[in-house]
Amino acid sequence: MRLFASLPLLLFALVGTVSAQFNFFEQMFSGGQQQQHQQPQNVPSDSSLYRANHERAHCDKYLCPDTLACVHYPHHCPCAWPSHEDKFELAEGQRICVSKGGFKAGEAQRKVELARKGLL
């Protein structure tokens, strides 16, 4: 009689173990597919994503080619990485973005000025 009372408990434990094994194998064999939904690595050189975003962008003024920002004039385009780049407007109505560098504030600006004077 006691054996029949513990039988449901034994069955429940056995089903839980089998289920855990199937979950293990499911994760093991589908793990590669799950990684495809994470951040892509070593993305091939393909501009289709950029072109698609460019075509969807609506701008009645000037569309910045590198950031897709809509501005009045080309030299108003922002830098793509403002926390890492300094923007400088050039005399010809253009702008450049220069990587912030050096150990002192204003180091990038100093180098741009030296380059303008032909000293760098």
Q: State whether 69 and 103 are in the same domain.
A: yes
Q: Is residue 78 domain-resident?
A: yes
Indicate the SS3 state at residue 99. strand
What are the structure tokens assigned to 81, written together? 């990485």
In this prediction, residue 76 carries a pLDDT of 92
Q: Is residue 50 domain-resident?
A: no
- Spatial separation of the C-alpha atoms in residues 76 and 70, rounded to whole Å: 9
Count the domains in the chain: 2
**Tokens 């513990």 label which residue?**
6
Q: State whether 28 and 63 are in the same domain.
A: no
Q: State whether 20 and 64 are in the same domain.
A: no
In this prediction, residue 81 carries a pLDDT of 93
Q: How far is CA 104 from CA 42, 65, 79, in A?
A: 34, 31, 21
In this prediction, residue 112 carries a pLDDT of 87
Q: Is residue 83 domain-resident?
A: yes
Closest listed residue to residue 74, CA positions, set 56, 57, 85, 61: 61
Indicate the SS3 state at residue 39. coil
Q: State whether 20 and 69 are in the same domain.
A: no
Closest listed residue to residue 86, CA positions, set 77, 96, 76, 73: 96
Q: Is residue 52 domain-resident?
A: no
Q: State whether 62 and 106 are in the same domain.
A: yes
In this prediction, residue 11 carries a pLDDT of 45
Q: Is residue 45 domain-resident?
A: no
Give the domain extent around 72: 58-116
Residues of the chain with pLDDT under 50: 1, 3, 7, 10-11, 13-15, 17-20, 22, 24-25, 35
For the chain, strand residue ranges (E) read: 62-63, 70-71, 85-89, 95-99
Q: State whether 67 and 111 are in the same domain.
A: yes
What are the structure tokens assigned to 61, written together? 């003024």
In this prediction, residue 92 carries a pLDDT of 78
